[in-house]
Structure 1
Amino acid sequence: MIFRNLFIKTVVSLGDKILGANYLSSLHMWNKYDTFSESKLEEIQDENLKKFSIIRLPMFPIIKITF
């Protein structure tokens, strides 16, 4: 556990700065999903599917698909 924290705080942070990446913030975001309940994850999935469907499928609002 100590090695993991040390690795993340030093190597990953340094790598993000050198490469201009955002791996550390992505890692924190994905770790947050581990704490959500199953119902919360399903809710997030439904919201993301609706957003994707409205953007990518022009007929979606017309046929009124519900989840």
Structure 2
Amino acid sequence: MNLDRAVLAFAGTIVLVSAILAVTVSPWWIALTLFAGANMLQASLTGWCPAAMIFKALGVRAGTAFR
């Protein structure tokens, strides 16, 4: 798995988990979905992604989006 796929899988997991928690536990979990969406928008505009930096430090090989 390369860095691009790891970041997309992580973001998708966060969105799905927070949506499930919002339905089953508390509507306040939507805040996590909003944070993930805002972070994805910010990363698309600036090219800077904290999750990509963490995955890169863990040794995930580079993709084409986050260098």
- What's the TM-score once normalised by structure 1's chain length? 0.35
Looking at CA atoms only, which structure, 1 or 2, has the larger radius of gyration? 1
- What's the TM-score once normalised by structure 2's chain length? 0.35
Indicate the structure whose relative CO is greater, using CA pairs within 8 Å and at least 6 residues apart: 2
